[in-house]
Homo-oligomer: A and B are copies of this chain.
Amino acid sequence: MNKRNFTIYDIAKEASVSPTTVSRVLTGNPVVKESTRQKVLAIMKELDFSPNEAARRLTKQQTDLIGFILPDITNPFFSQIYIEVEKKALEKGYTILLRNSMNISAMESTHLREFTERRAACIVFMGGRINKTNPDMYEVTEMQEVMSRVPIIMINGKMKGVKSYTIRTNEEEGIRSIVKHLVSLGHSKIALIGGSKGISSADNKLSSFKRILKEFHLEFNQDWQIFSDFSVESGRVAMKKLLENESLPTAIIGINDLIIYGAVKECRDQNISINDFSFVGFDDIYPSDIVYPSLTTVNHNYEILVNEIMKTIDNIIAGKTNKKGKLIDTHLIIRESSKEC
């Protein structure tokens, strides 16, 4: 049923030229005479010629493929970044290949192998193993092996002993802006919920949080720091635990926005007024402007982040050297969920 795929030989024969000439018009080589170019183009259109990508890749040793590994594209935090990178990549003529790891190490391995076999120009990596405070030995080794062939750009993560390109959000600054904002609203009893131990984005935020509380001469209350996970559901779980305390905070910071969605939901389910608390998230994913109450949260400056990613990719592909580490500033988006104490 499927039409046969013609080759440049077919075109050449039909146009009474050599395959070389056909290849030249294909690559846009300007030496070929205009009349023959037209002739060849006409035949191509007539036969609905479509050049074989695999053959092309094989001869042109260099590739323009960007591999993109992230945990879950249904998570707005990742999709917001991914889509912008895809758009810019397309503009520049790069090919981009998305893979979801679901934070499963074995899937990451599969994807890394695939990208290596495809001779990707570089790999953008988010989540999973680069977000572990203590990654497995095997993961580190594999990462190093891959990197000896294809450069890896780690977004909001890093790996001890692996010197890749890293582009990170200045999370400490983000946490500071939250605390500052809450203090200005009169809050002094602040909780931090969500995330899980061993995941650096949670570990780091926690240690930043402790440090910053000191800066503001506030006390850290261990009862108000509750690990769970990073999902909406785990936000409910964390909030539930938090509410079991005798003494409660007046403000609640979530490790990310999803946690707060869950926390708010838990309040509603327990018939607790959401006005009893100020809520602040982290990430500023797009539903945070839609949910009620709209969420005060830390924005990653996605545009700058994506620009830095693209700049790094460009440099890698152009063979230029890069600064290995970049830190992106955040900005606080103030919405309804945070209010006077």
Chain A residues within CB distance 8 Å of chain B: 2-3, 5, 48, 50-55, 57-58, 72-74, 76, 79-80, 82-83, 86-87, 90, 95, 97-98, 100, 107, 110, 113-114, 116-119, 145, 148-151, 232, 261, 264-265, 268, 286-287, 290-292
CB neighbours (8 Å) of A3 from chain B are: 148-149
In angstroms, Cα B119 to Cα A148, docked, is 30
Question: What is the distance, in angstroms, from A257's C-beta to the closest C-beta of chain B?
Answer: 10
* Number of copies of chain A assembled together: 2
- Whether the pair B290, A292 counts as a contact (CB closer than 8 A) is no
Q: Are A232 and B290 CB-contacts (below 8 A) given A58-B52, A145-B48?
A: yes
- Whether the pair B86, A117 counts as a contact (CB closer than 8 A) is no
Q: Are A50 and B149 CB-contacts (below 8 A) given A73-B79, A100-B86?
A: yes
Main SS class of interface, A: helix
CB neighbours (8 Å) of A80 from chain B are: 74
5 example contacts (A-B, Cβ-Cβ < 8 A) are as follows: A5-B149, A54-B119, A95-B114, A264-B292, A291-B291
- Whether the pair B74, A100 counts as a contact (CB closer than 8 A) is no
CB neighbours (8 Å) of A292 from chain B are: 264, 268, 291-292
CB neighbours (8 Å) of A151 from chain B are: 2
In angstroms, Cα B104 to Cα A87, docked, is 12
In angstroms, Cα B272 to Cα A189, docked, is 34
Question: What is the distance, in angstroms, from A36's C-beta to the closest C-beta of chain B?
Answer: 23
